[in-house]
């Protein structure tokens, strides 16, 4: 699926508006903690969304699968690593490992 320049700008603008609506809604309901939780869910799902770009899925499917994977696999890996090191370090380490994995998968797929 190839987006034209104008279509990609509209998509980016739409995604930014949706993100702002989610952040405002979270802030109104839960305050600053709500914004942190919403951003955390987005950051946990981001590596899985990028991995799912390698498959022929629709955008909606990629979003749902990445949210489910981000809310299940990421915390599980952090918990397991958090038993050995501190949880803050485990979060950063798992996120870095997932991003490196995404980069490696993209390089392997291009070959």
Structural domain count of the chain: 1
Global confidence as pTM? 0.67
What is the C-alpha separation between 52 and 63, in angstroms, rounded?
9
CB half-sphere exposure, 51, CA atoms < 13 A: 18
- The more confident residue out of 14 and 95 is 95
Radius of gyration of the chain from its Cα atoms, rounded to whole angstroms: 16
Q: Which domain holds residue 60?
A: 5-110
Distance in angstroms (rounded) separating the CA atoms of residues 47 and 38? 16
List pLDDT tens digits, range 3-29: 556 666 776 787 788 888 888 888 898
CA distance linking residue 65 with residue 50, whole number of Å: 11
Query: Is residue 27 a contact partner of residue 35, using CB atoms and an 8 Å limit?
Result: yes
Residue with tokens 């603008």: 13
pLDDT in tens, 33-74: 888 888 888 888 888 888 888 778 887 788 888 888 888 888
More confident residue, 58 or 83: 83
DSSP H or E segment with residue 4 = none
């Amino acid at each position: 699926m190839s987006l034209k320049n104008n279509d990609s700008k509209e998509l980016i603008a739409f995604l930014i508006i949706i993100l702002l609506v989610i952040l405002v809604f979270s802030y109104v309901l839960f305050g600053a903690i709500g914004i942190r939780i919403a951003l955390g869910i987005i950051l946990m799902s981001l590596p899985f969304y990028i991995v799912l770009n390698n498959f022929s899925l629709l955008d909606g499917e990629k979003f749902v699968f990445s949210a489910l994977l981000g809310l299940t696999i990421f915390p599980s890996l952090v918990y397991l690593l958090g038993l050995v090191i501190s949880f803050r370090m485990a979060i950063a380490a798992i996120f870095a490992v997932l991003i490196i994995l995404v980069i490696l998968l993209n390089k392997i797929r291009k070959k």
